[in-house]
């Protein structure tokens, strides 16, 4: 039995890890206005754009949207290509993540300041904010109104609102939407940094990534690196679901899920696994409790931190059921424009659905195993890769559970198990008053 999308978990809890001074979150319950943001040192003058870019390089800021690409390389590349465009991507299509919407609703000036700095470093005079959440768009528009005539920054930012979907946040989908088309991914090449909005080189960057740029400007690279790891410096926003302490947390890179859950008072002994990186990185077993939360350590563990969304799979929830629910979402929400993805997600969903219902046979599992590798890398965007990650990780991490489902002997499913929302582990921000 599934819950409805209206039963998405509301992110009421927002907090920072106790060992750090918060950088991205704020104790303010409401939206931070211009005066409050200026009091933090925001919108500081840029005396030397090249020096600032070098500081960003030395700080090692990596993208928080999923790919973890160094933002300094993005900036340098589009600047070298001439006449660039910068897009702040706040279209948070990942149902298990809420960080971007929180930043846009509560700290719009931090995001706009990051967009300003990215524009300064790239030499761009064409700045866009791309979102699907109307409340986020309104928050940013209010911030732009505050800036108008303030003498702080003559902001010229175009705000574009699209319908939400899983694929709308993909960078080529953002470019196509800003060019007047549908918010759907396009074939590559060209990549946006080669030819994007208006045919110009375009840097599309996640809003959390951009929000780190004012932090680097304020702290400098050395202080920025005082938390985090060598390869993943700083902090990240963790959207945590599937447990009593579901919430949005600012956490230093390098901490473990064991340390985070223990801090929150959760019983780590009841953890049966995790759904990592939102829906993209698939499922992992409880051994992930002790893997450092940084991009390289998670990759070495055959998983990924992705957008920073982590869902706890309790011992009363079957990972097969979780994987089937996520795959059903992919089958329903893919763009429908690439045959390999449209047909591949449907086929894998059918097998996982049958496996979850104890109707699958060994031959079905073997087909799933084949598709989980054969379909990887196909399609215009990463949706099919996410789907193959889900299938491959389930087969790798939980082979005994898969066998139990073939034998109709899953003890978790036989008991009264936790129920999944549809989509699974969906989160939402409290309704604005």
pLDDT digits 0-9 by tens, 172-216? 999 999 999 999 999 888 999 999 999 999 999 999 999 999 999
Closest CA to 81 of 204, 195, 201: 201
Question: What is residue 42's predicted lDDT score, i.e. its pLDDT?
Answer: 97
Cα(43)–Cα(51) distance, integer angstroms = 17
For the chain, give the percent of residues with pLDDT over 90.
Answer: 86
Res 306: pLDDT: 93
CA atoms in the 13 A half-sphere facing the CB of 131 = 25
**Residue pLDDT, tens place only, 142-162:** 999 999 989 999 999 999 999
The predicted pLDDT at position 6 comes to: 46
> What number of residues does the chain have?
433
Q: Cα separation of 96 and 310, whole Å?
A: 8
pLDDT (0 to 100) of residue 377: 87
* CATH fold of 319-417: de novo design (two linked rop proteins) (1.20.1440)
pTM over 0.75: yes
The total of other beta-carbon atoms located within 10 Å of residue 1's CB is 6
The predicted pLDDT at position 238 comes to: 98
**Cβ atoms of 249 and 19 closer than 8 Å:** no
Domain 23-224's class? alpha beta
Alpha-carbon Rg for the chain, nearest whole angstrom, is 21
The per-residue pLDDT for 432 is: 56
Q: What's the pLDDT score for residue 379?
A: 81
Of all residues in the chain, what percent carry a pLDDT higher than 70?
97
Average pLDDT over residues 105-123: 97
Which span out of 7-11, 54-58, 337-341 was modeled with the highest average pLDDT? 54-58
pLDDT for res 30: 86
pLDDT above 60 (res 239): yes
Maximal CA-CA distance, the chain:
70
Write down the residue that tokens 């509560």 correspond to: 106
Kindly state the average pLDDT of the residues 110-119.
Answer: 98
Question: What pLDDT was estimated at residue 144?
Answer: 98
When the pLDDT of each residue in the chain is averaged and rounded to a whole number, the result is 93
Q: What digits encode the pLDDT tens for the residues 291-318?
A: 999 999 999 999 999 999 999 999 999 9
What does the pLDDT look like over 395-425, one tens digit per residue?
Answer: 999 999 999 999 978 988 888 767 788 899 9
Determine the pLDDT at residue 421.
Answer: 87
Look at residue 4 and tell me whether its pLDDT is greater than 80: no
SS (H, E, C) the chain: CECCHHHCEECCCEEECCCCCCCCCCCCCCCCCHHHHHCCCCCCCCCCHHHHHHHHHHHCCECCCCCCCEHHHHHHHHHHHCCCEEEEECCCCCCCCCHHHHHHHHCHHHHHHHHHHHHHHHCCCCEEEEECCHHHHHHHHHHHHHHCCCCCCCCCEEEEECCCCCCCCCHHHHHHHHCCCCCCCCCCCCCCCCCCHHHCCEEEEEHHHHHHHHHHHHHHHHHHCCCECCCCECEEEEEEECCCCCEEEEEECCCCHHHHHHHCCCCHHHEEEEEECCCCCCEECHHHHHCCCCHHHHHHCCCCCCCCEEEEEECCCCHHHHHHHHHHHHHHHCCCCCHHHHHHHHHHHHHHHHHHCCCCCHHHHHHHHHHHHHCCCCCCCCHHHHHHHHHHHHHHHCHHHHHHHHCCCCHHHHCCCCCECCCCCCEECCCCC
Cβ 169 vs Cβ 100: under 8 Å: no
- 50-59, 235-244, 310-319, 376-385, range with the lowest pLDDT: 376-385
CA distances from 172 to 77, 84, 181, 190, 425 (A): 17, 15, 11, 9, 27
Q: Which residues contact 339 (CB under 8 A, 6 or more apart)?
A: none
- Please name every residue paired with 309 in a beta bridge, in sequence order, or none if there are none: 239
Residue-level pLDDT at 10: 79
Strand order in the sheet with 271-276: 14-16, 247-252, 235-241, 309-314, 271-276, 283-284
- Tokens 């800036």 belong to residue: 147
| Fold agreement between 23-224 and 319-417 | no
Indicate whether 27 pLDDT > 90.
Answer: no
- Determine the pLDDT at residue 417: 67
Mean pLDDT of 267-273: 96
Per-residue pLDDT tens digits for 346-369: 999 999 999 999 999 999 999 999
Q: Which residue has the tokens 């087969």?
A: 395
d(CA 315, CA 318): 7
Instruction: Supply the pLDDT for residue 297.
Output: 96
- pLDDT-wise least confident of 23-27, 39-43, 283-287, 328-332: 23-27
Q: Where are the domains of the chain?
A: 23-224, 319-417
Instruction: Between 66 and 269, name the one with better pLDDT.
Output: 269
Q: What's the pLDDT at 424? A: 94
Whether 163 has a pLDDT exceeding 70, the answer reads: yes
């Amino acid at each position: 039995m599934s819950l409805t999308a209206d039963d998405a978990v509301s992110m009421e809890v927002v907090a920072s890890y106790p060992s750090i001074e918060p950088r991205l979150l704020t104790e303010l319950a409401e939206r931070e206005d211009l005066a409050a943001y200026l009091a933090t040192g925001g919108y500081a003058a840029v005396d030397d754009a090249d020096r600032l870019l070098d500081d960003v390089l030395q700080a090692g800021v990596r993208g928080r949207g999923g790919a973890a690409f160094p933002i300094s390389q993005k900036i340098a590349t589009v600047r070298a290509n001439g006449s660039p465009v910068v897009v702040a991507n706040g279209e948070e299509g990942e149902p298990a993540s809420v960080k971007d919407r929180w930043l846009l609703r509560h700290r719009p000036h931090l995001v706009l300041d990051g967009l300003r700095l990215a524009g300064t470093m790239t030499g761009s005079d064409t700045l866009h904010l791309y979102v699907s959440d109307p409340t986020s768009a309104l928050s940013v528009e209010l911030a732009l109104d505050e800036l108008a005539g303030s003498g702080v920054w003559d902001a010229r930012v175009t705000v574009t609102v699209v319908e939400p979907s899983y694929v709308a946040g993909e960078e080529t989908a953002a470019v196509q939407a800003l060019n007047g088309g549908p918010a759907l991914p396009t074939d590559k090449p060209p990549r946006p940094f080669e030819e994007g909005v208006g045919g110009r080189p375009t840097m599309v960057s996640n809003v959390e990534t951009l929000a780190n740029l004012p932090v680097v400007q304020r702290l400098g690279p050395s202080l920025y690196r005082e938390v985090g790891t060598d390869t993943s410096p700083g902090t990240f926003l963790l959207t945590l679901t599937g447990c009593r302490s579901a919430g949005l947390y600012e956490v230093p890179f390098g901490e473990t899920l064991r340390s985070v859950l223990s801090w929150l008072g959760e019983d780590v002994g009841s953890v049966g696994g995790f759904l990592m990186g939102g829906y993209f990185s698939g499922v992992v077993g409880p051994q992930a409790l002790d893997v450092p939360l940084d991009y390289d350590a998670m990759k070495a563990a055959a998983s990924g931190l992705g957008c920073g969304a982590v869902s706890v799979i309790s011992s009363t929830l079957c990972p097969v059921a979780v994987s089937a629910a996520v795959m059903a979402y992919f089958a329903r929400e893919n763009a429908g424009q690439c045959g390999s993805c449209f047909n591949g997600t449907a086929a894998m969903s059918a097998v996982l659905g049958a496996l979850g219902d104890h109707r699958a046979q060994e031959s079905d599992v073997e087909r799933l195993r084949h598709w989980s590798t054969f379909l990887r890398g196909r399609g215009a965007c990463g949706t099919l890769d996410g789907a193959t990650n889900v299938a491959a990780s389930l087969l790798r991490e939980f082979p005994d559970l898969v066998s139990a489902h073939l034998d109709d002997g899953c003890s978790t499913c036989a008991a009264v198990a936790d129920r999944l929302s549809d989509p699974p582990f969906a989160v939402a921000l409290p309704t604005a008053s």
